């Protein structure tokens, strides 16, 4: 009877014993070892929130709310929307956000001549440079349309996205949240737009949700340099 038991369950019992020994060894290590062992699941999971097409009348509320939540986001600004909004751009920087370029007229850059594309990018860079004192390094090409040729035209890093909130289309906080829910993973770049109240509300709710799940928000630069 006993032999039968071991025959049938010997492997399983041995496995459990090994696990117990290993666990005890680990526990001893934790107590006596000098190195602190941080379990993997407790490490910060980084995500980046990016906002295109601004600034707009909703940008300041968004910037303030993100700051209150300790979130640094990246704003890819549109030159034509920046005009007359210098204070907003300055405030974005004060609130700790990173500023990038989204062209001047929201054009598909790879369809333009080299000179025209360069002009679109440079005109917006000039405003950013003049108002913030910083030369922007990152560009989000409208429609994600980029080309190798453009890399040679400007000395900037194109930044795309892998999670699209579709906020411009849905224009509804709950639907945007629903679209993003369960989709976000470590290392994601989330695309949103700061031109809608619903996007601002959805961004705050998303940040609250993801921070509760242990996510940490970083700007695009920090994400890329990782
Ligand atoms: Zn855009």
Burial readout 149-160 (b: 16 or more C-beta within 10 A, e: otherwise):
ebeebbebebbe
- pLDDT for res 68: 98
- pLDDT for res 100: 98
Quick one: tokens of 47? 């995500």
Residue 9: band (very low, low, confident or very high) from pLDDT cuts 50, 70, 90: low
| Ligand 1 centroid from CA 159, angstroms | 12
Catalytic residue IDs: 52, 193
Nearest to 48 by CA among 178, 163, 202: 163
- Average pLDDT value for residue range 142-148: 97
Residue bearing the bigger pLDDT, 50 or 32? 50
**Average pLDDT taken over every residue of the chain:** 87
For 217, phi and psi rounded to 5 degrees?
A: -95, 130
Half-sphere exposure of 139 (CA within 13 A, CB side): 32
Whether 215 contacts 180, CB under 8 Å:
no
| Ligand 1 centroid from CA 152, angstroms | 22
Residues 6+ apart with CB under 8 A from 191: 50, 52, 161, 163, 164, 165
Provide, rounded to the nearest whole percent, the portion of the chain with pLDDT above 70: 81
| Ligand 1 centroid from CA 104, angstroms | 10
- pLDDT for res 181: 84
Quick one: tokens of 219? 């700007």
């Amino acid at each position: 009877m006993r032999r039968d038991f071991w025959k049938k369950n010997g492997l399983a019992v041995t496995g459990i014993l090994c696990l117990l020994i290993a666990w005890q060894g680990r526990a001893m290590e934790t107590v006596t070892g000098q190195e602190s062992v941080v379990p993997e699941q407790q490490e910060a999971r980084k995500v980046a929130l990016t906002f295109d097409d601004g600034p707009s009348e909703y940008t300041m509320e968004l910037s303030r709310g993100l700051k209150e939540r300790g979130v640094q986001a990246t704003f890819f600004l549109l030159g034509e929307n920046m005009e007359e909004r210098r204070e907003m751009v300055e405030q974005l920087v004060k609130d700790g956000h990173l500023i990038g370029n989204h062209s001047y007229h929201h054009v598909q850059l790879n369809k333009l001549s080299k000179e025209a594309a360069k002009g679109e990018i440079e005109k917006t860079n000039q405003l950013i440079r003049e108002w913030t004192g910083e030369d922007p390094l990152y560009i989000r090409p409208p429609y994600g349309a980029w080309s190798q040729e453009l890399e040679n035209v400007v000395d900037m890093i194109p930044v795309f996205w892998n999670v699209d909130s579709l906020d411009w289309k849905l224009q509804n906080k709950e639907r945007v949240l629903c679209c993003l829910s369960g989709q976000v993973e470590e290392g994601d770049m989330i695309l949103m737009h700061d031109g809608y109240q619903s996007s601002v509300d959805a961004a705050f709710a998303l940040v609250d949700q993801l921070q509760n799940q242990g996510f940490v928000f970083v700007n695009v630069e920090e994400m890329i340099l990782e």
